[in-house]
């Protein structure tokens, strides 16, 4: 849900620091990148190592410490953030934010960041209700800062009242609500093919390929997250079914995948052909297991699913993939025309670090007018959202 999103979490001193650990854990499970900035007082409650282990990234402390990595400094973190969250936020740091004081790493980065800010107060009830604190929060709200407000409960000092930090699940919900893309696929039905097909050689052996279905899964979840209805037609995959799909259709052979697509094509507004169907099949598959020192097999061409559907798409949008080991751009442009597609996603499968079976990919997205967008090396979920962004431009 939050793949590719960068959350900077500022942690200030207070007993509620332990809750910030759960915030990091929940964000990581949702796929977010999390950078943690701790004040000196925060480290008295929970060690930086705890946050480093949960976030899988270095915790930032003193702005005047020698920088071990060039991109770990207050300006880089400020620019990196898609959202800047402070939890817990003490009365002291809230006052600093309101007055523009920048005397430590947290307040310095906060002041330098133009990202959306979410502040989660945590303090004694009397401090919370103090006129100065209330005025500082009012100033920040007027500047567009979002508050996940403190709740009423038993406080660390023994008092009962407002000042208890909101629960991590509620804070994460606020982050998700801000970062989740708009429902820009609402009302659209998207047919996605995924995984590899197989063709029988004999009663035991098959022709197959190394497609894992990871790209198709990423696309399906991206469409669902953005409000679209997903018709998911898949062959063999090595990953769990995508979350949020409306309908699932499991197939084995290329012909079965084609039939499923033909049966569903009238329902779809967009076709994304992310599967790796077998290009060839045996002319005469053997029912029993073949034996002998030498075997001669005769193959025939399978139907081209994307081309068949593309010829009869009736103004609907078609997205194809071009996985090649050489002449990538040339092959991609030819397939775009041959299959009457609107977009082609071209990637070099000769590289072991991207493509089949990996979690990352690097692709060029080319439209029928020749415009090309380079993704760079990114997660397949990030690439999926980039593909959807380009579909909306058609």
Active site residues: 157
Query: Which tokens sit at 4?
Result: 């590719």
245's tokens: 């799909």
Give CA–CA dist 167/145, Å, rounded.
19
How far is residue 26 from each of residues 31, 85, 171, measured CA to CA in Å?
9, 14, 10
297 CB burial (10 A radius; 0-12, 13-18, 19+): middle
The whole-angstrom separation of Cα 190 and Cα 266 is 11
Q: What share of the chain is helix, strand, coil (3-state, %, to 5)?
A: 35, 25, 40
Strand partners, 348: 324
> 170: part of which helix (H) or strand (E)?
helix 168-179
Distances (CA, A) of 69 to 64, 72, 112: 14, 6, 19
Distance CA 161, CA 177 (A): 28
Contact 118, 23 (CB under 8 A): no
Closest C-alpha among 100, 108, 128, 140 to residue 39: 108
Cβ count near 358 (within 10 Å)? 15
Q: Quick one: which of 4, 21, 13 has its CA closest to 38?
A: 13
Cα separation values, 58 from 77, 132, 301, Å: 12, 35, 53
Give the DSSP per-residue string, 183-247.
-TTTT-EEEEEESB--EESSSS-EE-----SHHHHHHHHHHHHTT-EEEEEE-B-SSPPPTT-SE
Nearest to 44, CA basis, from 11, 7, 85? 11
What are 113's two structure tokens?
Answer: 């960041």
């Amino acid at each position: 849900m939050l793949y590719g999103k960068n959350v900077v979490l500022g942690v200030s001193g207070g007993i509620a620091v332990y809750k910030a650990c759960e915030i990091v854990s929940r964000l990581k499970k949702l796929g977010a990148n999390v950078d943690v900035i701790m004040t000196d007082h925060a480290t008295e409650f929970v060690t930086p190592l705890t946050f480093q282990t949960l976030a899988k990234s270095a915790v930032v402390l003193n702005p005047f410490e020698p920088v071990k990595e060039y991109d770990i400094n207050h300006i880089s973190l400020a620019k990196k953030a898609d959202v800047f969250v402070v939890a817990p936020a003490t009365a002291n740091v809230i006052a600093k934010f309101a007055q523009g004081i920048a005397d430590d790493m947290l307040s310095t980065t906060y002041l330098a960041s133009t990202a959306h800010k979410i502040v989660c107060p945590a303090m004694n009830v009397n401090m919370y209700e103090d006129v100065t604190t209330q005025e500082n929060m009012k100033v920040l709200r007027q500047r567009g800062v979002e508050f996940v407000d403190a709740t009423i409960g038993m406080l660390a000092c023994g008092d009962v009242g407002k000042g208890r930090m909101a629960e991590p699940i509620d804070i994460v919900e606020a982050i998700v609500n801000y970062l989740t893309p708009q429902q820009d696929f609402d009302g659209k039905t998207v047919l996605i093919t995924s995984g590899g097909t197989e063709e029988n050689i004999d009663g035991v052996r098959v022709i197959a390929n190394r497609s894992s279905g990871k790209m198709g899964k990423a696309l399906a979840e991206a469409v669902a997250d953005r409000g679209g209805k997903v018709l998911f037609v898949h062959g063999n995959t090595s990953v769990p079914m995508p979350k949020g799909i409306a309908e699932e259709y499991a197939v084995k052979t290329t012909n079965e995948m084609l039939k499923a697509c033909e049966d569903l094509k009238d329902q779809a507004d967009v076709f994304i052909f992310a599967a790796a169907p077998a290009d060839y099949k045996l002319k005469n598959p053997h029912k029993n297991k073949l034996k002998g020192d030498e075997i001669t097999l005769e193959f025939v061409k399978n139907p081209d699913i994307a081309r068949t559907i593309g010829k009869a798409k009736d103004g609907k949008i078609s997205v194809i993939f071009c996985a090649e080991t050489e002449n990538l751009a040339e092959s991609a442009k030819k397939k775009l025309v041959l299959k009457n597609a609107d977009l082609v996603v071209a990637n070099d499968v000769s590289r072991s670090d991207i493509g089949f079976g990996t979690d990352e990919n690097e692709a060029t997205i080319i439209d029928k007018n020749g415009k090309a967008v380079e993704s760079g090396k990114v997660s397949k979920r990030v690439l999926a959202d980039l593909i959807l962004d380009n579909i909306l431009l058609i």
